[in-house]
């Protein structure tokens, strides 16, 4: 249960403030006019003293410690699973509500896993920690969940096209460096990925499991079941890293319990929050990561009846994984709290 009413102008902390998602969280709090009473920026010791701007004022980064959360109402965590496992329970014990962007607590039965457009009511059951879903899961479900409500999804077969920024700043630098090296006729060097990412695609996101899937690939099924309250959902995904800087895309084939047409799907999606239908192939209009970058809404297009599945629909969905896949979703959860 919620530990009483939330301060209307809460003291907010961002943990992992200097990372790509942390910076997006700070910008999203400002752009959405979240009623921050006081902002505290927390990171590792090496970032202490660095200043980030919020509402035109520089805010110095402080070191994350066990004592950091006294007096803080909401903490947005984006510093990796290890940091979350160590510090999120301490923050909750201090009376702070944690919104965690890592995978540490997503499948914990006592931690709500929330996409505000889908299951906002689950926030009410939190015990101090609320989990943000995997970025690819969140983007896919923005299109899949409205269709599930209308037609009842049974199973999904999908392939993701995931931007390098999902791996972090060093991966963006690696792609840029390799493009320059190849253009100069040099041999590309690699540090982040096991193979060259420039002008290539890697069918490998996250670590491999004994059954041959990767951890990332199982997240859509496992997290999708929890978010949509749909324990029998079946999903087979191949996650692919592509040489795109920002925004993930997913090609989805979904089979439903009830008959579905492309026209009916467009009508349902057209009135669903957080998703825009961009679907006019005659004018070469369909979702592109280049154009969805920086946008709050995800986009869905290439909507057509799937010719290989009964009651099947194929579609293409794209979204900014640093926003709806991470920072925006976290701030939307914070908005639910107040």
CA angle 47, 101, 158 (to 5 degrees): 130
Beta bridge pairs of residue 208: 214
Residue 61 has pLDDT above 50, yes or no: yes
Residue 151 has pLDDT above 90, yes or no: yes
Phi, psi of 93 (to 5 degrees): -65, -30
pLDDT value of position 5: 64
Enumerate domains of the chain plus CATH numbers: 11-132+326-337 (3.40.50.720), 137-321 (3.30.360.10)
The arithmetic mean of pLDDT across residues 198-211, rounded, is 98
* Residues above pLDDT 90, as percent of the chain: 97
The arithmetic mean of pLDDT across residues 74-103, rounded, is 97
Asked if 241 and 159 touch (Cβ cutoff 8 Å), the reply is no
Asked if 6 and 75 touch (Cβ cutoff 8 Å), the reply is no
The order of strands in the sheet holding 312-319 is 234-241, 153-162, 248-256, 312-319, 298-305, 275-277
pLDDT value of position 160: 98
Residue 316 has pLDDT above 90, yes or no: yes
> What's this model's pTM, rounded to 2 decimal places?
0.95
Distance separating alpha carbons of residues 265 and 267, to the nearest angstrom: 5
- Return the active site residues: 135, 248
Q: How confident is the model at residue 3 (pLDDT cuts 50, 70, 90)?
A: very low
């Amino acid at each position: 249960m919620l530990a009483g009413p939330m301060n209307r102008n809460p003291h907010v902390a961002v943990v992992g403030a200097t990372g790509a998602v942390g910076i997006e969280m700070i910008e999203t709090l400002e752009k959405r006019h979240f009623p921050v009473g006081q902002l505290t920026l927390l990171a590792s010791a090496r970032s202490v003293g660095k200043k980030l701007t919020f509402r035109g004022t520089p805010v110095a980064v402080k070191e994350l410690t066990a004592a950091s959360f006294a007096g803080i109402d909401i903490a947005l965590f984006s510093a990796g699973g290890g940091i979350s496992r160590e510090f999120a329970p301490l923050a909750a014990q201090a009376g702070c509500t944690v919104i965690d962007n890592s995978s540490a607590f997503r499948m914990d039965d006592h931690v709500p896993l929330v996409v505000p457009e889908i299951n906002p009511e689950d926030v009410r059951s939190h015990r101090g920690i609320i989990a943000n879903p995997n970025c690819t899961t969140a983007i896919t479900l923005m299109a899949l969940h409205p269709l599930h409500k209308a037609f009842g999804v049974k199973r999904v077969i999908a392939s993701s096209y995931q931007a390098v920024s999902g791996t972090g700043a060093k991966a963006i630098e690696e792609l840029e460096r390799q493009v320059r090296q190849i253009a100069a006729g040099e041999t590309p060097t690699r540090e982040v990925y096991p193979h060259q990412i420039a002008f290539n695609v890697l069918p490998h996101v996250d670590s491999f499991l004994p059954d041959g899937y990767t951890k990332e690939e199982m997240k859509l099924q496992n997290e999708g079941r929890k978010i949509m309250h749909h324990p029998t959902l079946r999903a087979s995904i191949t996650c692919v890293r592509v040489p795109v800087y920002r925004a993930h895309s997913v090609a989805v084939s979904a089979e439903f319990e009830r008959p579905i047409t492309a026209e009916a799907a467009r009508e349902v999606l057209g009135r669903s929050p957080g998703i825009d239908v961009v679907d006019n192939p005659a004018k070469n209009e369909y979702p592109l990561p280049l154009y969805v970058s920086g946008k709050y809404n995800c986009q869905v297009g290439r909507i057509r009846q799937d010719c290989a599945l009964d009651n099947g629909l194929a579609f293409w969905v794209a979204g900014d994984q640093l926003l709806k896949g991470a920072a925006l979703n976290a701030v939307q959860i914070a908005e639910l709290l107040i």
